[in-house]
Amino acid sequence: MLQVITKPFLQEEKSFYPYLLVVSSDSLYIMSPDRTMLIETIIEGKDNDGYVCAADDEDHFLECIIDIKRDILNGFNPLDWIL
């Protein structure tokens, strides 16, 4: 399951999420678990209003990357099913 982190990011200091994605309507990034840097840009779009999402485990994390990437490349907004 992909969980959207809804609290302000700095207030989440005590929580640890090993699998983080930053998702917008046309962008997908992988963020480091310590939240200090972007590890990889999967798709860079123009929408800067993204959400930080955490996956439960590595398998689900990889599935989400595939699903989100497919949606963006096919012109769909992945936030429709994430939010």
CA 21 centroid distance within chain: 2
* CA–CA distances in Å: residue 9 to residues 51, 59, 75, 76: 10, 24, 28, 26
Which 8-state DSSP code applies to residue 55?
A: E
Which residue has 């999967």 as its token pair? 42
Each residue's pLDDT tens digit, 18-64: 899 999 999 999 999 888 889 999 999 999 888 999 988 999 999 99
Please list, in sequence order, all residues whose beta carbon lies within 8 angstroms of the beta carbon of residue 61, skipping any fewer than 6 positions away. 19, 21, 55
Residue 45 has, within 13 A of its CA and on its CB side, a CA count of 21
Q: What is the pLDDT of residue 11?
A: 53
Domain boundaries, the chain: 2-82
Which residue has 């939240």 as its token pair? 35
pTM: 0.84
Residue 70: φ, ψ to 5° = -60, -45
